[in-house]
Amino acid sequence: MTDKIIKNDQYYMQLAIQEARKAEAIGEVPIGAVLVYQDEVIASSFNLRETLETTASHAEMLVIDKGNQHFKSWRLEGCTLYVTLEPCPMCAGTIVQSRIQRVVFGALDPKAGCAGSLMNLLQDDRFNHQVEITSGVEAEVCASLLQTFFKQLREKKKLLKQLKTREESIQE
């Protein structure tokens, strides 16, 4: 019997986490996303806001863009988007616009999350499309990636500040 990989939410979230690690490797906030259609990964991407210097370069936006190119359509009906962090208002809005069927995310974002934390743009029945949500998949891994990243960033800034102070005291 051959080992068949069980492609469940955890499996696809692991792929999104791999994308987030790619972001981390180049100094970007580690957030990754994959787009799945009929058990097949159509697109994968990660946050590139600093690299591209564009506001809209969130992982979800980039993966939706790739999905549009794949299907040659703005409609992504029947697709599931996996993302390591709860979508922000911009991404949640784009997800609704793209008619994505389902969103699976890892960590909650209490400061910007619009899939339940601050508001729930994905399931507001005043819009003409609602999105199924599954949250908390591999949440600890997704959150710890971000926590570690920001901790290291703070330490780096602290160290730079110390170096600068030392330099200044030498010059005096």
By CB under 5 A, which span of 18-26, 53-61, 95-103, 164-172 interacts with Zn ion? 53-61
Least gap, CB of 112 to Zn ion (angstroms): 8
Q: Which is nearer to Zn ion, 3 or 93 (CB)?
A: 93
Q: Which of 63, 88, 122, 142 binds Zn ion (CB under 5 A)?
A: 88
Name the catalytic one among 28, 60, 86, 138: 60
Residue 63 neighbours by CB distance under 10 Å: 28
By CB under 5 A, which span of 30-38, 40-48, 57-65, 118-126 interacts with Zn ion? 57-65
Least gap, CB of 143 to Zn ion (angstroms): 16
96: Cα separation from own chain's centroid: 16
- Note if 60 is an active site residue: yes
Footprint on this chain of Zn ion (rule: CB under 5 A): 58, 88, 90-91
Binding residues for Zn(2+): 58, 88, 91
